[in-house]
Amino acid sequence: MRVLVLSGLRPMTCLALIFISSSPCVGQSKTATDINNESKIILEWVAKTYDLTIAWQNVSYPIETKYSVPRILLKGTQVVPLPALEATYVCNGTNPTPAKVNELLFLLVPELAKYPPSFVKKTEMTKIILARNLTANGKPVGGVAPPAFSLFLADVEKLTVRTNYGVQAIHHEFFHKVDHRIHRDDKGVAMAANHPLWDANWEKLNRPGFAYLNPPGGGAPPGFTAEPTDKFPGFLSRYSMASLLEERAEVFGYMFSNPDFVEKRAKADPVVKSKVNRMKAILKEYCPEMDEKYFERLSTERNFRFVALPDLSGTPKK
């Protein structure tokens, strides 16, 4: 998403996914308002495969936290500590209908199955919360992966209205959690511009003279959409030009949701190609199972799944 500096949020046109560790899990109710049996099997599969619980019932809003972001300033090779940034993060929403939960799960789970379990577990997320009418600090959002929570939040209405965009948004928001973990592992040494998600190596891939609209990583104004395009040399979408952290998430999102588009753009644009290669290197270092063979399968197999999906054949819907 694009609202807060350091937030990793997406605007209203996106998905809304939250991972937290204190809300009730899906499937606890056995009333007529419950999700269907196929969805229950899916939730069991997600829990067993990725150590993730998906929650949608009886979630109490708002979800609020206060947190401190350590900061440094790089002066050549010198690291200068700065006062921590104190912030408050508030997510609000309502509980979705079982029908929409059923619909979203059949969109979300095949995308999740593209990830090796170790890739997901390393983020230390514990829950995905499915919501509707989702907002982050008062801004309507479709997807959000705030660094203050061990969670990923998804708005079932916004995500399922536009399936192609929803799939890309799932991967986009998930990468924000990976990025948070990568830079936490770096213990701040890789930070620059007073922002913990800055990547000087990535910044150097841009053409000379380019500057992100919001270098520290905040939001973008209306018109900076995440639609795939070839109108902006070096970038996969106009939204990619908003900030470095959002571009990294955009590249990851399109590599997993629209590999044909990424391959075409990389062949025609050397800057895009260099960014795709950089992303592959980042991911291989983070998760060795995501090597060149993995990405070859991702780009060539139409229904690529790293992990087999649960067998739903013969399962009654109710």
User: CATH no. for residue 289?
Assistant: 3.40.390
Note whether residue 21 is domain-resident.
Answer: no
For the chain, the straight-line distance linking the first and the last C-alpha, in angstroms and rounded, comes to: 36
CA 294, distance to chain mean position in Å, is 20
144 in helix, strand or coil? strand
pLDDT confidence of residue 251: 97
Q: Which two tokens stand for residue 298?
A: 């991702």
Domain that holds residue 84: 37-300
pLDDT confidence of residue 184: 64
Note whether residue 15 is domain-resident.
Answer: no
- The 10 Å Cβ neighbour count of residue 28 is 10
pLDDT confidence of residue 145: 83
Note whether residue 277 is domain-resident.
Answer: yes
Note whether residue 130 is domain-resident.
Answer: yes
Note whether residue 318 is domain-resident.
Answer: no
- Is the sign of the CA dihedral 105, 108, 110, 113 positive or negative? negative
Question: Which residue is listed with tokens 């308002």?
Answer: 33
Note whether residue 237 is domain-resident.
Answer: yes
128 in helix, strand or coil? strand
Segment (H or E) for 260: helix 259-268
Note whether residue 296 is domain-resident.
Answer: yes
pLDDT confidence of residue 186: 44
Q: How far apart are CA 290 and CA 286, in angstroms?
A: 8
23's CB contacts (< 8 A; 6+ apart) are: 55, 58, 59, 60, 127, 129
Answer whether 246's CB lies under 8 Å from 239's CB: yes
Distances (CA, A) of 161 to 68, 156, 218: 36, 9, 26
pLDDT in tens for each of the 318 residues of the chain?
Answer: 433 222 333 433 333 344 333 344 444 444 447 999 999 999 999 999 999 999 999 999 999 877 666 666 656 666 677 777 777 889 999 999 999 999 999 999 999 999 999 999 998 888 999 999 999 888 888 888 876 677 788 999 988 887 788 899 899 989 988 888 877 644 443 444 444 445 668 888 999 988 888 755 555 666 677 788 899 999 999 999 988 888 999 999 999 999 999 999 999 999 999 999 999 999 998 999 999 999 999 999 989 999 999 888 766 666
Answer whether 35's CB lies under 8 Å from 44's CB: no
Q: How far apart are CA 193 and CA 198, in angstroms?
A: 7
Segment (H or E) for 273: helix 270-286
pLDDT confidence of residue 289: 97
240's CB contacts (< 8 A; 6+ apart) are: 232, 246, 247, 250, 251
Which of these, 214, 212, 239, lies nearest to 225 by C-alpha position?
239
- pTM recorded for the entire structure: 0.81
Which of these, 157, 138, 119, lies nearest to 17 by C-alpha position?
157
CA atoms within 13 A on the CB side of 243: 27
Q: How far apart are CA 175 and CA 256, in angstroms?
A: 11
Percent of the chain with pLDDT over 90: 46
Q: Which two tokens stand for residue 181?
A: 């973990």
Count of the separate structural domains present in the chain: 1
92 in helix, strand or coil? strand
Note whether residue 82 is domain-resident.
Answer: yes
pLDDT confidence of residue 70: 61
Length of the chain measured in residues: 318
